[in-house]
Amino acid sequence: MTNKSIDYLFVYFNARENRLDEGKNSPEEFFYGLQYFKRIGLNSKTIEYKYKFEKKSIFYYFLKIFQELIFFIFRFRYDFINIVNKQSFLQVNKSNHIIITNTRIGHSMIPYMIYSKIFNKKIKFSVFAMGMFNISSKYKIIKAIHKKFHKLLIILADNIIFIGQKEYFEVLETFPKYGSKIKFLPFGVDNVFWSGKVTTTKDNILFIGNDSNRDFDFLIDLIKKMPENKFTIVSEKINSQVENLQNVELYQGSWNKNTYDDSFLKEIYDKSFISLIPLKDSLQPSGQSVALQSMSMMVPVIITKTVGFWDTDYFKHGENIYFINENESDQWIQAIDDLYKNEEKYSLIKNNAKKLIDEKFNCEYFGENLIKILEN
């Protein structure tokens, strides 16, 4: 390290500050190693950006017009108005290493990366990247331009870290020249926090999620075909579709908006028999955090086997997880019935799942391996 006052600066979007104040009433996984770094004595600070800007200057309006123009022409989203400001500049300038926790922030911090290289500030930038190839446009020219934007980020950053194995290999194959910068790090959840009580009345079927790769339409259809089963849903993307269904308990909200605290979600997990994660096919490792949290809470997971499933080496069908190849109702109903009726298989999956999280997919393991990547 140099003589700068901050070893590592973690950069987030919203919903972190309140949870940091809560301490162990909140799990560690969405801080991407911050607490681990502090435990081993590294001076680590945070910046949290919110989708809100209170003091608006001429510079603010210039950046807003600029980024909206980029989005209008190229369908590529920057957040310069949140990130490029004096307060952030001062924090970045006195830091040795910036850890950027999603791709959108990474692109928006490109001005700082350019500044560091031009003025030889020797600041390192590591970016957690997700959804680089999750481009909705049907136009080849737009996809090609997005690829150029991503290439610029890879060139300027010191590390691009993927938490999905398939997405990691895809980017490695697409940008082989920069292979030494492209890394894979298995995501891990806080297995100390996500540790359940021995609850005997676990009968609910659980769904948690808001991202665009969840198959909400299929879920609604499945629920309607299983009127005798009780479902618990935590999502802001589902509302009127289930309001007349007697077998649904709905909690509308999201993690980012702090609608419900993590202790409440822990109680929801603890009352659930299985956790359903129906997904649309994508390279992005969607459903990962909910799956790992469920497994840590000893709630077996039934999930769509997408092309972007995050780690096929350790997650095995029928051993520690239950894969479904297609979002077809009969397959899901059969899988759910299988776990309700086969107590031996149910116990095998939930126990093996918990063991896997405790051994490999937890925050301690994640932090140890993140340090190895950053210090290599």
What is the value of pTM for the model shown? 0.92
pLDDT in tens, 32-71: 999 999 999 999 999 988 655 556 778 778 888 888 888 8
Does 181 lie in the same domain as 32?
yes
Q: Please give the residue range of the domain that contains residue 208.
A: 204-359
Residue 270 lies in a domain: yes
Residue 105 lies in a domain: yes
Does 225 lie in the same domain as 124?
no
Residue 196 lies in a domain: no
Does 225 lie in the same domain as 159?
no
Where residue 23 sits, what CATH number does that domain have?
A: 3.40.50.2000
Residue 199 lies in a domain: no
* Contact between residue 181 and residue 158 where contact means Cβ atoms under 8 Å apart: yes
pLDDT in tens, 198-235: 665 678 999 999 999 999 999 999 999 999 999 999 99
The three-state (H, E, C) secondary structure of 92-161, written as one string: HHCEEEEEECCHHHHHHCHHHHHHHHHCCCCCEEEEEECCCCCCCCCCHHHHHHHHHHHHHHHHHCCEEE
> How far, rounded to the nearest angstrom, does the alpha carbon of residue 161 sit from its chain's CA centroid?
13
Does 371 lie in the same domain as 345?
no
Residue 198 lies in a domain: no
Does 23 lie in the same domain as 166?
yes
Does 124 lie in the same domain as 74?
yes
Residue 1 lies in a domain: no
Does 352 lie in the same domain as 243?
yes
Structurally, the chain folds into a number of domains equal to 2
Does 370 lie in the same domain as 273?
no
Confidence of residue 2 (pLDDT cuts 50, 70, 90): low
